[in-house]
A and B are shown apart, each in its own frame.
Chain A
Amino acid sequence: MKISFHYFFDSFNATAVAIAAGLSVLFVTTQSVSAHGFAGSRFFPATLSTDDPFVNDELSMPTVSSTVTPDEGGTRDTQIAVDIAKRITPNFGVEIGESFIFLKPRDERSVNGFGNLELGAKYEFFENDEHETILSLGAEVEVGGTGGKQVDADTFSTWAAGLFFGKGFGDLPSEVSFLRPIAVTGLVAVAIPTSASTRTVTFNERTGEQEIEIDRHPNVLEWGFALEYSVIYLQEQVKDIGLRAPFDRLIPLVEFSFETPLNRGQEGQTTGTINPGVIWSGKYFQIGAEAVVPVNSRTGSDVGFIAQLHLYLDDLFPKSLGRPLFGGR
């Protein structure tokens, strides 16, 4: 539930698009798929800024982030989010997420409130253990009108469908064995809002006239990836370099997260962040922290942060909450 939906449209029938996306998710041919977070001998952690390709039982609580957006001349946007994902079958799962948002515009009073509810589903349709490769399809919706107006939560919904991927490089030759702990996960998705624009009418006290402001909401290509180097994989599969707890469970990574509007006069105006950080993965949970570096002035000018506590429900509750509702062992 890490894709953000901020752009909107009216030329599509959003419901039809969503149904088509959902059906495409459900009817893709499946191949061998095993436990979440693994492809063969590769363990992939849950990433913080870009969604990973795994269908799993997990709880992110909380994810705390703070950035400064260009809105109102610079607005501190702090969010505390909770996401839970649940497997329905071993390959198909659903997700729900909510966040509480604090906004502090420059030289203005702060406001806070809930963001819109986010719902999603993901289907893992391909896994190749030998080549540590995994592919999934996902669909998500941000439910308009479920969040607070004071934090500018959208009054309309935005649907998205995307392809998620993961690839470990454990199949590299032994001559470059120290590159084998590298892995990449990422996504390519299209977000389609159910409204093309938002019209706001304000009264100008100085001129005594009404002013109409129109915000146009384009479809958006959302793309990103995480580049990881797993110390776990290094010591387990390549070479024991003598690191012991807690350093033997570290996964340094850099995440790249971008949004590119596709229409409505905003084509190509990409925004995004590059987020270097580290994840520590334990027996039942992982913790991660990243700096959030904006790539351009449209995104922001200050470095922010994101941090997360992420619980592995399948390890915590292997015989109840942490197993698929249907088809689990």
Chain B
Amino acid sequence: MNVRHLQFVLLLCVALTATVDGHAFLDHASPAVGSKVHGRPAEVKVWFTEKLEAAFSKLQVFNQAGQQVDSRNQRLDPHNSAVLLVSVPQLKPGIYKVVWRAVSVDTHTTEGSFKFEVVP
């Protein structure tokens, strides 16, 4: 394989991969994963590493009793389709579990959960 062939293969790889997305991993969240929050957050927001399909992705918040406490209005951030958010009512002090499933635009699915604590 000479240099021209190598250049062609590299260009081909770049062209083939230029528009694809991979698995969506959680990049960071607000409230942060495993954090303690003073005050009462109005929403839970998760930043992913890839753009998401809103219809197949989900974001839910549960209290310690396992009851879903979010406002069931999950949506993508209109300015960034890699961000999923859901509103929450005034949360009482306690530990909350966020459950997410992220379906990236190339249909790869990832899922996970994390907790945060609301403290007075």
Contacts and interface: CB of A to CB of B under 8 A. Distances in A.
B17 A38 contact: no
B106 A319 contact: yes
B22 A283 contact: yes
Interface stretch (A198-206, A208-216, A232-240, A266-274): A232-240
Given A239-B34, A284-B17, A284-B22, A38 B110 contact: yes
* A interface residue count range (under 10 / 10 to 19 / 20 to 34 / 35 or more): 20 to 34
Given A41-B110, A41-B112, A318 B32 contact: no
Contact of B114 (A34, A40, A238, A319): A238
B22 A237 contact: no
Nearest to B114: A237
A318 B17 CA distance: 10
Interface string B23-35: 1011011001111
Interface in A96-139: 129
B112 A316 contact: no
A284 to B, nearest CB: 6
A329 B25 contact: no
B6 interface: no
A236 B33 contact: yes
B3 interface: no
A236 B114 contact: yes
Interface string B84-120: 0000000000000000000000111111111100000
Interface of B: 16-17, 20-23, 25-26, 28-29, 32-35, 49, 106-115
6 contacts: A41-B113, A174-B115, A177-B34, A314-B108, A316-B20, A329-B107
